[in-house]
Amino acid sequence: MQYDINAIKKILPHRYPILLVDRVTELTVNESIVAYKNITASEPVFEGHFPDQPIYPGVYMIEGMAQAGGILAFESHTKENINMNGKIVYFMSIDKAKFRVPVTPGDRLEYRVEVTKKRGQIWQFIGKAYVEDKLVAEAELKAMVADK
């Protein structure tokens, strides 16, 4: 199941420059999602992080994983015929975040997010980010589906 940027924008409230998922390439309801963000030299964050040696911020990688998890939670509820009108997925917590390798312009940052626990409207995930199958970041994430 693939989602292009227009489908993603129907699910996530984020917009440029903080919409950090370009495409979803795989989604298994209530289980996992694979999505990516193309990192380009024109990202506004590189004006300050860092002008002479651009490195994609770790917090953006975490946010991208959280956005992918939000898409997974939202679509899982939708596929279970739960009315998601007026609902949003809120990011609740980050644990055990690790940044292993710098991400730079030209990289394709792939998010692989798996559900570890789901209880009602609360979701827990393990998020991992890769560039060319090399692990660059990981974290445990928690989110909840709530009214806007």
pLDDT at residue 45, as a whole number: 96
Rounded-to-integer distance, Cα 22 and Cα 35, Å: 7
Instruction: Find out whether 15 and 88 touch, Cβ atoms under 8 Å.
Output: no
Q: What is the pTM of this model?
A: 0.97
Residue 147 has a pLDDT of 94
Average pLDDT estimate for 8-30: 97
Q: Would the pLDDT of 1 be above 90?
A: no
Give me the pLDDT at residue 94, please: 98
Q: So what's the pLDDT on residue 11?
A: 95
| pLDDT 10s digits, 74-132 | 999 999 898 899 999 999 999 999 999 999 999 999 999 999 999 999 999 999 999 99
Where do the domains of the chain lie? 5-147
The single residue of 9, 49, 108, 118 carrying the catalytic annotation is 49
Q: How many CB atoms lie within 10 A of CB 25?
A: 12
Identify the three-state secondary structure at position 136: strand
- Residue 77 catalytic? no
Task: Mark residue 86 as left, alpha or beta (left: phi above 0; alpha: psi -120 to 50; beta: remaining).
Answer: left
CATH of domain 5-147: 3.10.129.10
Q: Which residues contact 2 (CB under 8 A, 6 or more apart)?
A: 23, 24, 25, 26
Determine the Cα angle at 144 with ends 138 and 148, to 5°: 125
pLDDT at 121: 94
Residue pLDDT, tens place only, 22-67: 999 999 999 999 999 999 999 999 999 999 999 999 999 999 999 9
Amino acid at 127: G
